[in-house]
Amino acid sequence: METVIAVENVATVLGGHEIHRGLDLHVTRGEVVALIGGSGTGKSVLLREIIGLLRPQSGRIMLFGQSVWDVAPEQMNALRRRFGVLFQDGALFSSLSVEDNVAAPLFEHTALPRATCRRLARLKLALAGLPADVARKRPSELSGGMRKRVALARALALDPELLFLDEPTSGLDPISGRAFDHLIRLLADSLGLTVFLITHDLDTLFSIIDRVIVLSAGRVLGSGTVDELKNIDDPWLRDYFAARASGRESAHGN
Amino acid sequence: MSEARAHFDEAGGALIASGAWHADSAKALPARHGKAVHVLDGAGITALDTNGAWLLLDAAGVHEGVEPPELRGFAPQHRALMELVARHVGRTGALPPPRREGVIEITGRGAMAMGGHVVGLLDFVGHLTFELAALIGRPGQWRWREFGAQVRDVFVGAIPIVIGMMFLLGVVFAYLLGDQAVRYGANIFVVDGLLLAMLREVSPVIVAVLVAGRTGAAITAQIGTMKVNEEIDAIATLGLSPLAVLVIPRIVALLVALPLLVFIGDIAGMAGGMLVAKEQLDLSYRMFTDRMLDVIQLKTLLVGLGKAPVFAVFIAMIACRMGLTVSRDARSVGEHTTSTVVQSLVAIIILNAAFAVAFVKLGI
């Protein structure tokens, strides 16, 4: 299978702190991969490095076989069209309508007439499971869960092959969170997307993820299905999975 | 990746597409001269995404209320994608573009908003009056610290720019007056004219405009951002009144600071005039000050200083009200801050005109 994301021997130092020391990971086409790790293990930093917002001190990051930090700016722009990013709080433009938020990448990157861009934007909103009446609303009129769906629709606007999600279910209630998980999986399967997401949400891991990558102490501690990870002897991982088990029991206790 | 191609087979009513279809493939779509498409043939398609699928379906006329075309020859994953998109095309029909408001509509809306602001300000005065009465009942709620910080920001921070602006305006006024006066040998009367203009009109209005732009905007932005961060709600939840904690100290601070700033502006304006009088009109500093003390009337000074508190109350009330009515997004803070400055300037000009008429009628 083709490797979509390759991170090789990456080292990062931020503000005198060593964040990553010789980090390696690979994601192949069609996988839905989750990146987990304790607070401060550099998950979001790694995401920013992969999408070209932050330069690592050393090492190589490849997207679709091209090195993110060595290609010419116009090649990087072509590369940017091939992936979509969902930021943690949605990062919708508050001065644009929902429809124009989703159409914005199409306005900028395609030669289509603006009316067609808006119609395609409404297709993405429908795919993201949003009702028809949101299109002409402002982001400030929507609930948190709907804003996340709009942000997902915007990330999908240019039909990327690769989707980055930064904590997609944070700030959502458990029901909306599960619905969002299933939407991601549905879109990944039907559109053939590769998905790379950062999460703290154990339910996400257990429901829609093909493979989990664990970051610890600046390296990849392990990678595999949830069951394979349970065999790794690591105090943080043990506490992490124990949190779910105890949460379940107390829920039954009530 | 192969280029997207498509041609329309009129005999069979078939749209035959091949190559890679995505958002930029629209230019490959053939004209079909109003003929119906019954079959969509995708046997030659090598790559397809949702944008490409939608363009093909749109070209096949799915938005025109005809039977959806038969899909023929698509690879299984492309067929699944076509079907997924086809399920949602009901939502993607052509809509009129988002309506833009015309000049008349914008004007009307602006007029309505202006009326709303007048009503809102009256309402706000009512609330403030009750709050002020309550505050007199329990003076413990009066915020000395907040008041002190506001006076420092509004008064001390504005002194340099007030001196600078009024000094330069004094220079300009004296120069223009002197230019006329010197033809009639009336050099000394420049002092009279300058004194009257500065003390009575220029200094109060210019300093008020300056404070509206500087402090009024700051108050709206600050209270508005607090509103966005739910700080106003937090104050109310603590059992405190946002009006007593935030608004009244700001109004009183401006009430104290603006007359003081106007007085400083008076002095700076006369000093600017004095400099020009010496250079252009050969009036020594001594002659200038003697003449100034001869003709100055307490009335002139008080008329100017008396307008300042009225301007101050209006600026502060408008700024605080606009801050408290911000809705919870970034855009609204900007709009309300702009509105504060505009409303304050309009209020200053109207009040000043009203004062002028009233003073004439009263014979002051």
> Do A250 and A187 belong to one domain?
yes
**Nearest chain A Cα distance for residue B130, angstroms:** 33
What integer pLDDT is reported at residue A251 of this predicted model?
41
Could you say which of A136, A159, A182 is where a domain stops?
A159
> Do A105 and A146 belong to one domain?
yes
A123 contacts B50? CB cut-off 8 A? yes
Give B215 or A221, the one with higher predicted confidence.
B215
**Nearest chain B Cα distance for residue A217, angstroms:** 35
pLDDT tops 80 at residue B62: no
Of the pLDDT bands very low, low, confident and very high (cuts 50, 70, 90), residue A250 is: very low
Q: What is the pLDDT of residues B96-105, one digit of tens each?
A: 777 788 899 9
Could you say which of A130, A159, A188 is where a domain stops?
A159
**Nearest chain B Cα distance for residue A102, angstroms:** 13
Q: What is the pLDDT of residues A158-208, one digit of tens each?
A: 888 898 988 888 877 888 788 888 888 877 887 788 999 998 888 887 888
Q: What is the pLDDT of residues B242-277, one digit of tens each?
A: 888 889 999 999 999 999 999 999 999 999 999 999
Of the pLDDT bands very low, low, confident and very high (cuts 50, 70, 90), residue A252 is: very low
pLDDT, mean of residues B300-317: 93
pLDDT tops 80 at residue A62: yes
B328 contacts A140? CB cut-off 8 A? yes
State the residue range of the domain holding A109. Answer: 92-159
CATH of the domain at A223: 3.40.50.300
Specify the range with the lowest mean pLDDT, choosing from A23-32, A154-163, A183-192, B343-352: A183-192
Instruction: Kindly report the average pLDDT of chain B as a whole number.
Output: 87
> Do A251 and A167 belong to one domain?
yes
> Do A135 and A213 belong to one domain?
no
**Nearest chain A Cα distance for residue B18, angstroms:** 19
Residues of chain A contacting B24 with CB distance shorter than 8 Å: 110-112
CA B119, CA A243: separation in Å to the nearest integer?
56
Q: Which of B24, B50, B97 sits opposite A115 (nearest CB)?
A: B97
Count of CB contacts below 8 A, A vs B? Answer: 74
pLDDT tops 80 at residue B12: no
Q: What is the pLDDT of residues B70-80, one digit of tens each?
A: 888 888 888 88
> Do A142 and A185 belong to one domain?
no
Strand order in the sheet with B39-48: B5-9, B14-21, B39-48, B70-72
> Do A194 and A148 belong to one domain?
no
CA B117, CA A136: separation in Å to the nearest integer?
27
pLDDT tops 60 at residue A82: yes
What integer pLDDT is reported at residue A254 of this predicted model?
38
Q: Is there a domain that residue A108 lies in?
A: yes
CA distances to B132, B246, B333, B334, B340 from B222, in Å = 22, 10, 9, 11, 12
B94 contacts A123? CB cut-off 8 A? no
Instruction: Kindly report the average pLDDT of chain A as a whole number.
Output: 83
> Do A241 and A168 belong to one domain?
yes
**Nearest chain A Cα distance for residue B61, angstroms:** 14
Element counts in chain B: helices (H) and strands (E): 14, 4
Q: Give the residue numbers in A contacting B (CB under 8 Å), as ranges.
A: 94-95, 97, 99-100, 106, 109-112, 114-116, 118-120, 122-127, 132, 136, 138-140, 156, 158-159, 190-192
A156 contacts B50? CB cut-off 8 A? yes
A120 contacts B92? CB cut-off 8 A? yes
Give yes or no for a contact between A110 and B24, defined as CB atoms under 8 angstroms apart. Answer: yes
Of all residues in chain B, the one with the smallest CA distance to A123 is B92
pLDDT tops 60 at residue B285: yes
Interface confidence (ipTM) of the complex:
0.75
> Do A164 and A145 belong to one domain?
no
Which of A96, A190, A193, A194 is the best residue to mutate to test the B interface, defined by the most B CB atoms within 10 Å of its own CB? A190
> Do A146 and A247 belong to one domain?
no
Could you say which of A113, A132, A159 is where a domain stops?
A159
What integer pLDDT is reported at residue B215 of this predicted model?
94
> Do A102 and A195 belong to one domain?
no
Q: Which of B26, B88, B93 sits opposite A127 (nearest CB)?
A: B88
Q: What is the pLDDT of residues B214-223, one digit of tens each?
A: 999 999 999 9
B94 contacts A119? CB cut-off 8 A? yes
Of the pLDDT bands very low, low, confident and very high (cuts 50, 70, 90), residue A245 is: low
> Do A121 and A235 belong to one domain?
no
For B226, list phi and psi in degrees, rounded to 5. -60, -40
Q: Is there a domain that residue A87 lies in?
A: no
Q: Is there a domain that residue A47 lies in?
A: yes
Q: Give the residue numbers in B contacting A (CB under 8 Å), as ranges.
A: 22-24, 26-27, 49-52, 54, 58, 77, 80-81, 84-85, 88-89, 91-95, 97-98, 327-331
For the record, the structure tokens of A193 come out as 């997307």
Computed from CA positions of residues B332, B336, B337, B339, in that sequence, does the dihedral angle turn out positive or negative? positive
**Nearest chain B Cα distance for residue A123, angstroms:** 6
pLDDT tops 70 at residue A244: no
Question: What is the domain count for chain A?
Answer: 2
Of the pLDDT bands very low, low, confident and very high (cuts 50, 70, 90), residue B158 is: very high
- Which residues, at least 6 apart from A148, have a Cβ–Cβ distance to it below 8 Å? A86, A90, A168, A171, A172, A180
Long-range contacts of B97-105 (CB under 8 A, 24+ apart): B97/A114, B97/A115, B97/A118, B98/A97, B98/A99, B98/A100, B98/A136
Q: Is there a domain that residue A21 lies in?
A: no
Which of A29, A81, A96, A122 is the best residue to mutate to test the B interface, defined by the most B CB atoms within 10 Å of its own CB? A122
CA B24, CA B60: separation in Å to the nearest integer?
17
What integer pLDDT is reported at residue B257 of this predicted model?
94
What integer pLDDT is reported at residue A247 of this predicted model?
53
Q: Is there a domain that residue A36 lies in?
A: yes
Of the pLDDT bands very low, low, confident and very high (cuts 50, 70, 90), residue A221 is: confident
B94 contacts A95? CB cut-off 8 A? no
> Do A166 and A96 belong to one domain?
no
A116 contacts B92? CB cut-off 8 A? no
Q: Is there a domain that residue A113 lies in?
A: yes
- Sorted by where each starts, the structural domains of chain B and their CATH numbers stand as 5-91 (3.30.750), 103-362 (no CATH)
Q: Is there a domain that residue A7 lies in?
A: no
Strands (E), chain B: 5-9, 14-21, 39-48, 70-72
Q: What is the pLDDT of residues A120-137, one digit of tens each?
A: 888 888 888 888 888 888
Residues of chain B contacting A97 with CB distance shorter than 8 Å: 98
For the record, the structure tokens of B340 come out as 């504060």
What integer pLDDT is reported at residue B70 of this predicted model?
80
Model-wide pTM > 0.80: no
Residues of chain A contacting B91 with CB distance shorter than 8 Å: 122-123, 125-126, 132
Q: Is there a domain that residue A17 lies in?
A: no
